[in-house]
Amino acid sequence: MRQIDCKFHRDLKPTRVWGYGSTSPGPTFDVRSGQGILVEWANELPTKHIFPIDHTIHGAESNLPEVRTVVHLHGAKAPANSDGYPDNWYQPGKSVVYYYPNRQDAAMLWYHDHALGINRLNVFAGLFGVYFVRDEVEDALNLPKEKYEIPLVLYDRIFDTDGQLNYPVSGNPKSPWTPEVFGDGLVINGKIFPYLEVEPRKYRLRILNGANARFFHLSLSNGQAFQEIGTDQGLLPAPLELKRLTLAPAERADMIVDFSGSAGEQIILKNDSLSAMQFRVSRTSVHDPSAVPSVLRPVPKIPESAAVMTRTLSLIEVQDPAQRPVRMLLNNAHWDMPVTENPVLDSVEIWSLVNTTDDSHPIHLHLVRFQILDRQSFDAPTYLRSGKFVGLGPLILPDTSEAGWKDTVRAEPNMITRIIIRFEGYTGRYVWHCHILEHEDNEMMRPYEVISAR
Ligand SMILES: [Cu+2]
């Protein structure tokens, strides 16, 4: 991890960012399922942070070093001591070696900072990158590959007139935390409004929402559909046609776009009505040997009857007398309170995420993959007052694009969202949290512990 200068746009001065190695996003890992790797994560950052720190936030007190980092590989089935536990941060001049066994299905994972209380600032500074796991099932599909497979990391930033990153503050110098950060500059792979020269054929786009808080709603300017072939934790059972893709922070989508009917055209990837990037399709027709098979990878449903435990977990926003958010909580508990979620290794549980707030919160569990069961509206005021659950309306099945293995789920406002999880892999202390980083840093994160059966 180093402080570096990057050009986000031809017309912007170089911007000071933090990257892994000499880039942000950092280098892209490409590993094989079943072949473990060791990574030494060295913190060579300066000792002064580039953004204002809120010392009133738990874990970011003024007696702690300003610059602290710890790397989490999002979506990895990794041992607890290599998972980047938020308290296991270290200072510039130090490094750790982490072991990633990669004993999991082909998927797009991503690594990013996870230091307690300043994670939103470290990621905003640029500490994130992409990590692909490959396997034989994926190989056999003959999907577009190599230069026809493009990782797209989307995020938003605020730039000042000098081209430097600006992380907004609350206006209270003693407590600069703000509840969500939305940038006016949309960035893809470190560039503002980039273009990509493509051939008139199929491409595989591996899209990651790497933003602190923004949800993306993506479409193509010519009205063409994408074929979605995978989500967070790998391939869907079958390709899915969709014209608009919603991605919450930390969610991934594996998309096929066929440019074969668009030779000589320019197509814009749009976020709502704004332009994100441009594809410039060349005129000369090409031979495209790649395929999108109608059957991809079975995703066997975990039956609800397999669950040995159902946990009801509430999502709470704490407000000040002027109804401004002060912090967010999971089950009314703070980060440093005793562990309350302690699933047994290899057991199945249902987690009911009861969102009493007016925001959608992308909830992420470390270590595991899960399936979304359903959602239902409920009467949140009654629930908050009396703890009584009054359902309003029918059970809503997940979107078809949420049908695969997930590690991040949108807990929609005033809804209960149920997920089913098998706690496979390792015992030990992990975390679950909201992936809106401003929420995560301000108490919307809890430890959980996988315990052994004996
Ligand atoms: Cu949240």
pLDDT tens figures, 191-211: 999 999 999 999 999 999 999
**CA-based nearest residue to 290, from 381, 203, 401:** 203
CA of 45 to the centre of ligand 1 (A): 28
User: What tens digit of pLDDT does each residue of 255-296 get?
Assistant: 999 999 999 999 999 999 999 999 999 999 999 999 999 999
Q: What separation in Å is there between the alpha carbon of 436 and the centre of ligand 1?
A: 5
106, 137 contact by CB (below 8 A): yes
For the chain, give the mean pLDDT.
Answer: 96
Residue 69 has pLDDT above 80, yes or no: yes
**Distance of CA 441 from the midpoint of ligand 1 (Å):** 10
Cα–ligand 1 centroid distance for 375 (angstroms): 17
Average pLDDT over residues 99-107: 98
CA–centroid distance, residue 148 to ligand 1 (Å):
35
* pLDDT tier for residue 390 given thresholds of 50, 70 and 90: confident
> Distance from the CA of 396 to the center of ligand 1, in angstroms?
21
How much distance in Å is there from the Cα of 213 to the middle of ligand 1? 8
Q: Say if residue 400's pLDDT is above 90.
A: no
Cα 310 to ligand 1 centroid, rounded to whole Å: 22
Q: Rounded to the nearest 5°, which phi and psi values hold at 138? A: -65, -45
- Label residue 63 by pLDDT band (50, 70, 90): very high
Separation of alpha carbons 185 and 173, rounded Å: 25
| pLDDT confidence band for 43 (50 / 70 / 90) | very high
Ligand 1 geometric centre to CA of 361 (Å)? 4
Q: How many Å lie between the centroid of ligand 1 and the Cα of residue 271? A: 21
Burial class (CB in 10 A: 0-12, 13-18, 19+), 97: exposed
Q: Report cis status (omega within 30 of 0) of the bond before 25.
A: yes
Distance 356 CA to ligand 1 centre (A): 11
pLDDT of residue 96: 98
- As beta bridge partners, residue 154 has 188, 209
Q: How far apart are CA 240 and CA 411, in angstroms?
A: 23
Tell how far the Cα of 279 is from the centroid of ligand 1, in angstroms: 33
H/E stretch holding 125:
helix 119-125
301-352 residue pLDDT tens:
999 999 999 999 999 999 989 888 889 899 999 999 999 999 999 999 999 9
Q: DSSP code of 165?
A: B
Residue with tokens 């892209």: 28
- CA 303 to ligand 1 center in whole angstroms: 28
pLDDT confidence tier of residue 420, bands split at 50, 70 and 90 = very high
The answer, yes or no, to whether residue 454 has pLDDT greater than 80, is: no
C-alpha 235 to ligand 1 mean position (Å): 27
Q: How far is the CA of 362 from the centre of ligand 1 (A)?
A: 6
Q: Average the pLDDT over 60-74 and give the result.
A: 97
Phi, psi for 401 (deg, rounded to 5) = -75, -5
Distance 369 CA to ligand 1 centre (A): 20
What are the tokens at 443?
A: 């108490």
| Helix (H), strand (E) counts: the chain | 4, 30
Mean pLDDT over 83-97 rounds to 98
CA 445 – ligand 1 centroid, Å: 9
Residue-wise pLDDT tens digits, 132-142: 999 999 999 99
Residue 51, pLDDT above cutoff 80: yes
Q: Give residue 389's pLDDT.
A: 85
pLDDT tens digits, one per residue of 140-170: 999 999 999 999 999 999 999 999 999 999 9
- Ligand 1 centroid from CA 100, angstroms: 28
Q: Give me the mean pLDDT over the 105-123 stretch.
A: 98
pLDDT attached to residue 205 = 98
Q: What's the CA-to-centroid distance between 439 and ligand 1, angstroms?
A: 5
Looking up tokens 């202390």, which residue turns up? Answer: 429
Instruction: Give dist(CA 306, CA 42) in Å, integer.
Output: 42
* Contact residues for 297 (Cβ-Cβ < 8 A; gap 6+): 105, 137, 138, 234, 235, 236, 237
Please say whether the dihedral angle defined by the alpha carbons of residues 396, 399, 404 and 405, taken in this order, is positive or negative: negative
